[in-house]
Amino acid sequence: MAYYGYRKNNSFIFMLIVFAAFATINSGCPHKHIETYSPVIPGAISGTVKTFDGESTAGAVVFIAADDLLKNSIKSKKLDASGGYSLDGIDPGYYYVAAFKDMKNDSAYTIGEDYLGGKLVDHWDLDNSYYVEVKEAQNTVLDVPLLAPLKLNYIENGTNSVSLDPKFSWAAVSGAAFYRLRITSRQKSFWIIDTPATSKIYGTDPAPQDYLITRPEQLESELEYFWSVTAFKEKGVPIAYSELARFYTRLLRTDKFGRVEILQ
């Protein structure tokens, strides 16, 4: 019995020593080695979706996505006639916000026919981007203009063998003070200019009422380019957009006499 009693008392003493050592070490730490974790509180995005031509926004859909091409919608909501929206329960972070109105009632966004607001479907067109931060337990207010479609006349989407100094033209939009013409590659912008005109030849000097944003660079042969137009009611107020159209420049070749040939 004495043996078992000795083991029991020794264990008790050992536990007291360990506890005293822990208390001594812990006393030097202001946080006492105790960490508390609070749950992340979601945020929200709210605002209104509106048009500039009096078109009703009833039936329009607003949605957010984490990637710039809007491939994966995180949350969406259909609007009523008032145009107000609220998206709750969003984890803190940065998101793209977009909206569109299905004018054909086919449950899909159709380029050049449906009204669109927020982030455009291609990340090379940056005129109409809404990239916002949602903060924890806070509501981010964002009003999204719903833009009418703008028709491109020429160069049509997918056109091949385009010259290196092409002419671009588009339909006029009622109420537009100027248009922003943008020509880009997949990597960069080649020419961006604001103009009240509805046609421009690539790289020409700005007219008196034009405003040059990006100076033109020489287009290269046999390459892919993109162009788009956004109509503005005034500076910073877009009212209509075009699709992002793709075109390819023609192939140039030098013959054995040093002459440049154009291959169609």
Instruction: Encode pLDDT of 200-227 as tens digits.
Output: 999 999 999 999 999 999 999 889 999 9
CA dist 76 and 73 (Å) reads: 7
pLDDT bucket at 59, cuts 50 / 70 / 90: confident
pLDDT bucket at 28, cuts 50 / 70 / 90: low
The answer to whether residue 92 scores a pLDDT higher than 80 is yes
CA dist 60 and 97 (Å) reads: 13
Domain ranges in the chain? 1-37, 43-146, 150-252
Do 43-146 and 150-252 agree at the fold level?
yes
pLDDT at 126: 45
Question: Greater confidence, 264 or 36?
Answer: 36
The answer to whether residue 245 scores a pLDDT higher than 50 is yes
Q: Rounded mean pLDDT of 20-39?
A: 58
pLDDT at 197: 97
Tens-place pLDDT, residues 150-188:
999 999 999 988 999 999 999 999 999 999 999 999 888
pLDDT at 260: 46
Cβ distance 121 to 112 under 8 Å?
Answer: no
CATH for the stretch 43-146: 2.60.40.1120
> What is the token pair recorded at 197?
């005109």
Question: Greater confidence, 100 or 178?
Answer: 178
pTM of the complete model: 0.64
Share of the chain above pLDDT 90, in %: 38
Q: Rounded mean pLDDT of 4-28?
A: 53
Q: Rounded mean pLDDT of 90-102?
A: 87
Mapping DSSP onto H, E and C, the string for 157-208 reads CCEEEECCCCEEEECCCCCCCEEEEEEECCCCEEEEEEECCCEEECCCCCCC
Q: Rounded mean pLDDT of 7-27?
A: 54
pLDDT at 238: 82
pLDDT at 131: 82
Q: Rounded mean pLDDT of 77-92?
A: 87
pLDDT at 5: 43
CA dihedral of 79, 136, 128, 240, whole degrees rounded to 10: 20
Q: Rounded mean pLDDT of 184-204?
A: 93
pLDDT at 212: 96
> Strands of 152-154's sheet, edge to edge?
152-154, 167-170, 199-201
CATH class given for the domain over 150-252: mainly beta
CA dist 90 and 170 (Å) reads: 40
Q: Rounded mean pLDDT of 119-144?
A: 73
The answer to whether residue 1 scores a pLDDT higher than 50 is no
